[in-house]
Amino acid sequence: MSNIILETRNLTKIYNLEQENEFEALHGIDFKAEAGEFICVMGPSGSGKTTFINNISTVDFPTKGQVLIDGAEIRSMSANEIGRFRSRNLGFVFQEFNLLNTHTLYENIAMPLALARTGKQEMNRRVEAVAKKMKIESILHKYPRECSGGQRQRGAICRALIMNPKIIIADEPTGNLDRANSNEFLEMIDGLNREQKVTVIMVTHDPLVASYSSRLVYIKDGVIEQSLDRGQMDRKEYFEKITEINASESRGFLR
Ligand code: ADP
């Protein structure tokens, strides 16, 4: 039995609707993610990846079509309902980490709990548990500027995980990390995906990063041009297929 956690039906996004500079960035995308998948979104710059991610994560809303998360139609909810729904179901990790510099790691991680009016004891328990998992329990008192890039990204993951989201949405999460930290980050995400069955949807331009996923979705000119299941491929074989898909795009510029 399939267990669809996220679905788009005819997802269409038009920027500057009915203005001179109207632009259709997504052309009626039909997409389904099953619970527990680890999906990577790739594609050339300007192809619509961020628009897609924003629309499936309630950050932005489609001009036409539907987005269903765990069966709920986002556009039928009020702004308050969307806010609650987002904090309960979705965890976000971005390239810039998006931690508040005026707050310690602890305060950053605890923020979604504070907004949900969680009691102090429960808050401590949960922040410490997630920080331990991500191996930053000894630096929770530090401010982001006192932490390394890798530590900040772990802090951002902790904040994304603190509400036990069903889906983690990540937009170029390794963009500011060196290879060692990037690999460590991916091992953590991979572990969460395998052990806790958290669904992951991640934009990246890096085939090595994408090779951790279980499915590649390749967006071009506002449509899903290709989809590649990892299936039984080992990481190396999958990586090579992903590289080939990206290279055939670049090759077009040689003509
Ligand atoms: P990607 O993430 O693949 O680089 P984007 O989703 O950011 O692509 O952008 C897709 C297309 O939509 C681009 O042509 C971009 O210029 C356009 N676009 C993105 N955001 C806006 C906006 N707020 N207003 C108008 N056009 C936009």
- Where residue 83 sits, what CATH number does that domain have? 3.40.50.300
pLDDT confidence of residue 62: 96
* Closest atom of ligand 1 relative to the 51 alpha carbon: 6
Confidence of residue 255 (pLDDT cuts 50, 70, 90): low
pLDDT in tens, 185-223: 888 889 889 998 999 999 999 999 999 999 999 999 999
pLDDT confidence of residue 1: 54
Q: What is the rounded average pLDDT of the residues 115-136?
A: 92
Most confident segment among 34-48, 78-92, 145-159: 34-48
Model's pTM, two decimal places?
A: 0.91
61 in ligand 1 pocket by Cβ < 6 Å? no
Long-range contacts of 144-150 (CB under 8 A, 24+ apart): 144/97, 144/99, 144/100, 144/101, 144/105, 144/108, 145/101, 147/105, 148/181, 149/97, 149/176, 149/177, 149/178, 149/181, 150/177, 150/178, 150/180, 150/181, 150/184, 150/185
**How many Cα neighbours within 13 Å face the side chain of 40?**
28
Contact 84, 163 (CB under 8 A): no
Nearest alpha carbon, ligand 1 atom 27: 15
Domain count along the chain: 1
The percentage of residues in the chain with a pLDDT greater than 70, rounded to a whole number, is 98
Report how far residue 190's alpha carbon sits from residue 52's, in angstroms, rounded to the nearest whole number. 22
Comparing 248 with 151, the larger pLDDT belongs to 151
15 in ligand 1 pocket by Cβ < 6 Å? yes
pLDDT tops 80 at residue 97: no
What is the extent of the structural domain holding 233? 4-254
23 in ligand 1 pocket by Cβ < 6 Å? yes
Tokens 């929770």: give the residue: 140
pLDDT in tens, 240-249: 999 999 998 7
* Closest atom of ligand 1 relative to the 54 alpha carbon: 6
19 in ligand 1 pocket by Cβ < 6 Å? no
Q: What is the dihedral of CA 185, 150, 98, 7, to 10 degrees?
A: 0
Report how far residue 92's alpha carbon sits from residue 41's, in angstroms, rounded to the nearest whole number. 15
90-94 vs 167-171, strand pairing mode? parallel
The percentage of residues in the chain with a pLDDT greater than 90, rounded to a whole number, is 69
